[in-house]
A and B are shown apart, each in its own frame.
Chain A
Amino acid sequence: MSTPRIKFYQTGTYTAGNRLLDEAARTVQSRMDRMNSLNSGHRACQGCGEALGARYAVDAAMRASHNRLIAINATGCLEVFSSPYPESSWQIPWMHSLFGNAPAVASGVAAALRAKGRGDVKVLAQGGDGATVDIGLGCLSGMFERNDDVLYLCYDNEAYMNTGIQRSGATPPFARTNTTQVVGEAPGNLLGTGKNLPRIAMAHGIPYVATASVADLHDLETKVTKAMDMQGARYIHLHVPCPLGWGSDPAHTIRVARMAVESGLFPLFEAQFGTVVDRTLIRHKVPVERYLELQDRFKHLFGPPPNTEAIAALQAIADANIVTYGLIV
């Protein structure tokens, strides 16, 4: 798929000038006929990055599949806030089974569609970072390894938010959670642990792996659309701030997400068959402090006295990402 290169940011702002584009190149979200797959009325918190990310991603997937989509959901915030019986927000065929099995359930859906000759219907599986990088990793790896025809979306808010903010394998170093509290000699989460799931997904050699941010709608929709046009196992890792868990202003969810990208802490890239093929450039590089200072979970790093070593360690991670993925040219 060739993507037209268009400069659509207004000078000196971070606002994407969607209306400056040809109608065909505008976002799915800006269209009158968007599905609202995750409809209003659900019970997510104010400023929930996951709710926004899910609507963006699933609407794009719906458009790409001509509304022929089945979605499987792992247990977690998204499942709970969208489906308290009998008030489902889902406008699409949707099923929740368990916390750790969404990829396998989706594999089963794909197998059933194959058995029934229903090539017109696509399968989406989705879960939070806990469901994806921890409890569901075995099933996810199996789905990847078999190259089942499923797009898996991970909404990464970097901890177990549904159960009340506990550490997951995706929690960043030094972050405060209720199981990595700000006490003792190494306050917050440890440095040097955790999982980089996009890299693990790439190691399976699957057709498509991408990272995306709720702060970059065009980029996110492009990746979902691209993934939906492919066959086999595909994985998109979406960075979605959680105001409650991160201690950030609900009004600043997009800003927080953008700072993660612009600092280099959350690199946006695409990989095919295990090789990075593209990345989204950082437009205005910011030091990691600009990201960290927006969130209470990193408040302890700013003292008194400031933990300059920790901040430097996070800056080193961001800088390494910038080099690894070539995020600045």
Chain B
Amino acid sequence: MRAQIEGSQAVAEVVVLCRPDVIAAYPITPQTHIVERLSRMVKQGDVGRCQFLNVESEFAALSALIGASATGARTYTATTSQGLLFMAEAVYNAAGLGLPIVMTIANRAVGAPINIWNDHSDSMALRDAGWIQLYAETNQEAADLHIQAFRLAEELSCPVMVCMDGYILTHAYEPVDLPDRSLVDAFLPPFSPVQVLDPSDPISIGAMVGPEAFTEVKYLAHQQQLRALALVPEVAGVFEQQFQRPSRGLCSPYRMEDADVAVIALGSVIGTIKDTVDELRREGIAAGCVKIGCYRPFPTLQLRAELEGLTCVIVVEKDLAVGMGGIVSADVQIALQGLHIPVHTVIAGLGGRSISKASLKQMIHEARAERLSEPHFLDLNMTAINDELARRRDQRRAGPVAEHLVRAINAIGTKVV
């Protein structure tokens, strides 16, 4: 059924169709609309015997799901930003224990300075925790990925994060095709756990492992996640067939057939990038783009195949490894090892800053002319930065940098180019 619906509500609707047994959640902007809707649906009996736990922290939310999942329950939660970092210890633990929990990340910047708007700093910080990470471009895709996420997670006994851009997707109303329950039931078999806490067959889970076996345990977790490189496209293929709409899996090319310059990105910004590619094509520039739909495991070979033969690759990423630069671009560099294709890192959209077509176009022109700084910060206000640097040179007790910058930039910061 097609509905004009908010992204968060669409996600809640499809999560319900996946018949979860236990949902635990702690509110954090901009995840709240998802869990509000779910709490209502559970309470009014739309989700069978499903239990909704209102917990006291994100750490407790994921911890409760660790217990529930180990008891054989299908489990779901949603969080973002500070909440994801607050549960970080449990994020690693859930993966280490091999529990197939599904979690939505309503991607948001990580403070300080506190910021509730979108970027990918949160999920990127947990990229190595052992979870599969899928990134949605649209709300339709976000909805579809959740259905696939439960199947992937349970087939691999590995938790899955479905990342969708905070506000840009979570709070956007778009038409979304919400599938019939029967379709989801046919696609997603009941959860059959590989390990379960059961008095009839007592086992110990979470035992201490020393140096003699720890590496082997981790190696197997790595191999298990790499299996997703085959399973993600396979599951997407089955999904396409059963739900009669496209689902792309690991990475999806756009106008890449004869491209010589490509932009790589994750999430909703792909829409703007596609429009930019179209405009550049009209200007005679052979541009294309590749969306990374599955970031963990990283589709190294698939990406390499998409990008081979290009003269210029630009990674636009909504995150920053302070003291290093790009996070995604480092992985792209590894994927392109030996191909001698220049990979440019562009840090964009931090803390919710709009990424405009005009800026992207200029960025591509500069990259092609080899005039891009490394890493390049899109739309950086150098005047404000130089003023602030000068101010800090002049006085030792210069005060908090964020507050001064906000005052200096205020007029510009809210302007959408």
Interface residues of A (CB under 8 A from B): 67-70, 72-73, 79-80, 83-86, 88, 90-98, 100-101, 104-117, 121, 138-139, 141-142, 145-146
Our pick among A104, A112, A139 for the contact of B71 (Cβ within 8 Å) is: A112
Interface residues of B (CB under 8 A from A): 21-22, 24, 48-51, 53-57, 59-61, 63-73, 75, 89-90, 93, 97, 197-199, 201-210, 213
Chain A CB within 10 A, most for which of B48, B65, B73: B73
- Give the interface SS of chain A, mostly helix, strand, loop or mixed: mixed
Contact assessment for A146 and B53 in the assembled complex, using a CB-CB cutoff below 8 Å: yes
Our pick among A72, A94, A108 for the contact of B53 (Cβ within 8 Å) is: A108
CB distance from B207 to the nearest CB of A (A): 4
Contact assessment for A84 and B51 in the assembled complex, using a CB-CB cutoff below 8 Å: no
CB distance from A87 to the nearest CB of B (A): 8
Contact assessment for A114 and B51 in the assembled complex, using a CB-CB cutoff below 8 Å: yes
Contact assessment for A116 and B73 in the assembled complex, using a CB-CB cutoff below 8 Å: yes
Contact assessment for A95 and B49 in the assembled complex, using a CB-CB cutoff below 8 Å: no
Residues of B with C-beta under 8 A to A86: 207
Complex CA gap A70/B199 in Å reads 7
Residues of B with C-beta under 8 A to A100: 59, 89
A–B Cβ pairs within 8 angstroms, 23 of them: A73-B206, A83-B206, A85-B208, A91-B202, A92-B199, A94-B202, A94-B205, A96-B204, A96-B206, A97-B63, A97-B93, A105-B67, A108-B63, A108-B66, A110-B67, A111-B22, A112-B51, A112-B73, A115-B48, A116-B21, A121-B199, A141-B56, A142-B57
Complex CA gap A140/B147 in Å reads 33
Nearest 8 CB-CB pairs, A to B?
Answer: A108-B67, A108-B64, A142-B56, A101-B63, A104-B63, A96-B206, A112-B71, A112-B73
Known: A84-B208, A93-B198, A100-B59. A112 touches B66 (CB 8 A): no
Residues of A with C-beta under 8 A to B49: 114-117
CB distance from B289 to the nearest CB of A (A): 41
Residues of B with C-beta under 8 A to A111: 22, 24, 51, 53, 64, 67-68, 73
Residues of B with C-beta under 8 A to A117: 49
Contact assessment for A138 and B207 in the assembled complex, using a CB-CB cutoff below 8 Å: no
Contact assessment for A98 and B93 in the assembled complex, using a CB-CB cutoff below 8 Å: yes
Contact assessment for A112 and B21 in the assembled complex, using a CB-CB cutoff below 8 Å: yes
Contact assessment for B204 and A95 in the assembled complex, using a CB-CB cutoff below 8 Å: yes
Complex CA gap A98/B71 in Å reads 17
Residues of B with C-beta under 8 A to A141: 56
Residues of B with C-beta under 8 A to A69: 199
Please name 12 further chain A to chain B contacts, defined as beta carbons within 8 Å, in addition to the given A101-B63, A108-B64, sorted by A numbering.
A70-B199, A90-B202, A94-B203, A95-B67, A97-B90, A98-B89, A104-B67, A105-B66, A109-B68, A115-B49, A121-B199, A139-B63
Contact assessment for B199 and A93 in the assembled complex, using a CB-CB cutoff below 8 Å: yes
Which single residue of chain A is at the shortest CB-CB distance from B210? A84
Contact assessment for A95 and B63 in the assembled complex, using a CB-CB cutoff below 8 Å: no
